[in-house]
Each structure stands twice: as C-alpha cells, then as structure tokens.
Amino acid sequence: MKVKLFDESFLIRGTFTISRGSRTHAKVVVVELRQGEYVGRGECVPYARYDESIESVLAELAPLAVKIENGLTRQQMQSLLPAGAARNALDCAYWDLECKKSGHRIWEYLSVAKPQPLITAFTLSLDTPEKMKQAAIENAHRPLLKLKLAGEGDIERVAAVREGSPDARIIVDANEGWDEAQYLKFVPELVKLGVEMIEQPMPANNDSALARLPRPITLCADESCHDRSSLPHIIGRYDMINIKTDKTGGLTEAIALKKEAEEAGLQVMVGCMLATSLAMAPAFMVAQGVDVVDLDGPLLLAEDRESPIEFDDSLMKVFPASLWG
C-alpha cells in the first residue's frame, strides 16, 4: 500500500468569524491510501485550539507511512495516534479504501440501513447585531440557524437574528466565550428568544459550574467532548454532546462514542470543522438519527471538491461513491 500526505486550502465565502478569530480559507490535510487500482481518501482540519497545525498533523502522520505500507491495519492504527485531526484523516482513508476494495458502500460495509437525507443547521458567523440580522434575513428560508456568539452583546445579536428570521429554529455556540455571570444573565433572555440549544458556553477546563447551574435550555458539550473518555466529565454538566470526527480521531471512534453517549442518556449532535464534502461524508453516517445535524461546512465555502455532497438549501443528500465510502 502506498501513502500520500498533503495539505490543501479552500476559499471561504466571505469571512468566517468565531470568538477566537476570523478566517478566509479552510485549510485541510488529506491522506490518500493506494492499493493497486483502489484509492481511499480522508480529510481533516488541524485546529489551533488543540495545538494542531498543518505542519504538526503532517508530522504526526509521516512516521506511520512505512508501517502502513507494510500492512498496518485500521484497527491497529487506533492506538498509535491520539484522538485528533491526524487520526481522523487516516481512519477515514482506511474506511474509504476498504469500501472501494469490497465494492460496497459504507452503510453496506457497516451493515446498517442506507442513510437518509439530513437537514443541517446553517451557521451565521459572529458579527455585529446589524450584520447578523442581515444574514438572518438572507437565510430566513432555512429551518435551523446556528449563531456564533462571543460574550458581551450576545443577547442583542440573538434578538437581531430572531427579528430577521422569525420562523427559524435557533441554536447558539459560545465557543467557550462566557463566564458564570454571563451565563446566568444570558440564559433567561435566550429562553424568551426561543433558543433551543447552547453549545459550549464556558471554557472546557472551567465548566464545573454547569453541574449546579440551571439548564432550562439544552447544553451541548463541544470542546469538552473528544472521545469516549470525555463522557464521565460531561455527564451531569451537559445534556448533549457534539461529535466531530476531527475530535474523535475518525469514524471508528465516532461510532463508538455515539453508542455510549446514547446509552448514557445524552442527546447527540454531529458537527464539523470548516471543511469540504470529503470531511462531511463520514460525519453524515454518524449523523443518521441524531438530535442536531451541523454539517454545513461546504455551504460556507466558495469552492468544494469534485463530486461534492449536493445540498437543496439546508437538505443534505447522500454522498456519491466517487466522493467517499
């Protein structure tokens, strides 16, 4: 088996801003595994929040190339890399290659039902209330909007979006941007505005207060949730987890995390980093039957891959075999 590692950059439509900064390009790492005529691909997004970069991910993957060429399996690989972006790209490339070699789609390979189209949330980037209202007006036809928040001024932002898109369901993502006082101040107002879910209100290393604070709105763990080892920390503080393959380290762990979370009584959201359809396809499988789907990465890009996932507004269609799986 031959291994190819490389990075790519995709232009974002406009600028994407969250509480930690802004970006104009989605930068990804791709793993290609070639065995004879078959090629499997996987994509990941290195995330600075977890001390990842394009360079660090490529450096994590490079030493495994010889082992992969000598027959390292997907199952054996799980213990050689930590949960994170590097393992995600490699894990998903293995799954794709296995499907290509077997001649079966990923759902057949997993012995599960054929996936169904999904309604995804559409993300409104962090901005002034006026600009977020305008974005809400432009996307008022979408059934579910996700708002990026940051702290001061957040109630005004949500109120502006609600005015611009009165019929949409709204969820919000603070990206660790609140403290306890802001939580207590904001939540009653968000209840009035009809917000259905709050994602990661406080920093992952300082969220113990959530165990004793009121939770009238569903709380979702994002930065606090990586893989199955995160669950003991999450239970009692959150009502939902956000599964991202870049955090779990691939489809293999994402499937296992979903199962254990549901058994623990947690709701499940499946989300994504800002990436192409190649990264969305494995997540699409995990997202079947979950409570919230947030796989709008390709909708935020000015360009996507060949054979991309088709979107009918916010409706994601099943990905083609030529893309992945």
Closest residue by Cα to residue 240 from 263, 222, 216, 226: 222
Structure tokens at 112: 């599960």
Q: What angle do CA 324, 256, 144 make, to 5 degrees?
A: 65
> Residue 93: pLDDT above 70?
yes
How far is the C-alpha of 28 from the C-alpha of 55, rounded, in Å? Answer: 11
How far is the C-alpha of 263 from the C-alpha of 228, rounded, in Å? Answer: 12
- Output Rg (C-alpha) for the chain, integer angstroms: 19
Q: Which of 133, 148, 247, 258 is catalytic?
A: 148
pLDDT digits (tens, 9 = 90+) for 152-201: 999 999 999 999 999 999 999 999 999 999 999 999 999 999 999 999 99
How far is the C-alpha of 58 from the C-alpha of 54, rounded, in Å? Answer: 6
Q: Which of 100, 133, 146, 244 is catalytic?
A: 244
Segment 5-16 mean pLDDT = 90
| Burial of residue 273, with CB atoms counted within 10 A of its CB: 0-12 exposed, 13-18 middle, 19 or more buried | buried
pLDDT digits (tens, 9 = 90+) for 34-79: 999 999 999 999 999 999 999 999 999 999 999 999 999 999 999 9
Could you give the domains of the chain?
2-104 (3.30.390.10), 118-316 (3.20.20.120)
> Residue 20: pLDDT above 70?
no
pLDDT for 22 equals: 72
Which run of H or E residues covers position 4? strand 2-18
Catalytic annotation present for 317? no
Q: What angle do CA 152, 157, 160 make, to 5 degrees?
A: 150
pLDDT digits (tens, 9 = 90+) for 132-156: 999 999 999 999 999 999 999 999 9
Confidence grade of residue 19 (pLDDT, cut at 50, 70, 90): low
Segment 23-42 mean pLDDT = 95
Catalytic annotation present for 244? yes
Please report, rounded to a whole number, the percentage of residues in the chain having pLDDT higher than 70.
98
